[in-house]
Structure formats: C-alpha cells, structure tokens
Amino acid sequence: MAHNIDDFLEGLSDHAWDTLLAVSNDLQDSASPGRIESLDKFLGQLRNEIDGVNRRRDAIGQKVADIDALIPAIDACLRECPDALDVSLFRHLLLGQRAIWKGEIEELRPEGKLRKKYDTERKRDLLVNLRATVIELNARLAAAPRGGAARVASPAKAEGVGK
C-alpha cells in the first residue's frame, strides 16, 4: 500500500511507469508557460470588454437618472397648469426615451463575458497548479530508482527553460 508518491512510484509496473511518463508529458504540454500566458492575455481582453460594457451601462444609467430627476419638476408644472400640452408631451417623450435607455441597459449585461471570464480564470488556475504538480512529479520520477534522467521528461522542459 502506497503511503506517499515515492511508494506509489516504486510499486508501478513497467507498463504503468511508461503510461505515467506519457501522461506526465501530456500534462506538461497542456500546462506550458505559453498556454498560461495565452490565457492571461485572453483574460485581460475579457476584463477590458467587461469594463467597456459597464462604462456604457453607467453612462446610460446616468441619462436615466437625469430624466428621473427632471420628472418631479415637470409633474409639479403639470399640477399647476394641467392644460400645458407641450409640457405633457415633453414628459411622455422623456419617459419613452427613459424606457428605451433602460432596455439598452438591460441588453448590455455582460453575463456571457462574465461566465467566460470565470471559466477562463478557473482553467488558468488549474493549469498553474497542474504545472507545479507536473514539475514536482517529473523531479520525483527522475529521482526514482527505475526512473533516471533517460526515462523522464526533462524538468527544464517542465519549467519552461529554453523557451
């Protein structure tokens, strides 16, 4: 029974050892520094897009707030002069535009981008942890009695040296 990774490695059959090396190499390729850097760049782009959408929503929200602030004054005017058709028309036009802007705000929700950002952050974090694990695993494989440098992927490759 393996109590730690070293015991596990010592108990592997030749076939399992070769399979572990293949898996380690596959993981090493998947968690390359270039892949992690690519995800970092993509996250930066997503953050910029989300910030842009939020700025646009805030700007439209301020327009809605301005109309909301003006409506009480218009209502007061209409209470004093209920026959002021031009003021009444102006009020209805403002409320119509307000409804359009509120609809735009609703449509501009960056929910899809936020989900994509969350998923990409999780993937990036997983790859960073996977990379550290693979580097450690390769070091252990190289130090294992049957391992040796000839059978194990280069720890320098796992660390991104020479790239």
Is-contact 34 68, C-beta < 8 A?
Answer: no
Q: How many CA atoms lie within 13 A of 42 on its CB side?
A: 17
- pLDDT, residue 57, reads 96
Q: Where are the domains of the chain?
A: 13-159
Whether residue 6 has pLDDT greater than 80: no
- pLDDT, residue 8, reads 80
pLDDT tens by residue, 106-126: 999 888 999 999 999 999 999
**pTM of the entire predicted model:** 0.67
Long-range contacts of 89-98 (CB under 8 A, 24+ apart): 94/67, 94/70, 95/67, 95/71, 97/67, 98/64, 98/67, 98/68
What is the mean pLDDT of the segment spanning 49-71? 97
- pLDDT, residue 148, reads 45
Whether residue 2 has pLDDT greater than 60: no
How far is 151 from 21, CA to CA, in rounded Å?
Answer: 8
Identify the band that residue 7 occupies on the pLDDT scale cut at 50, 70 and 90.
confident
Identify the band that residue 100 occupies on the pLDDT scale cut at 50, 70 and 90.
very high
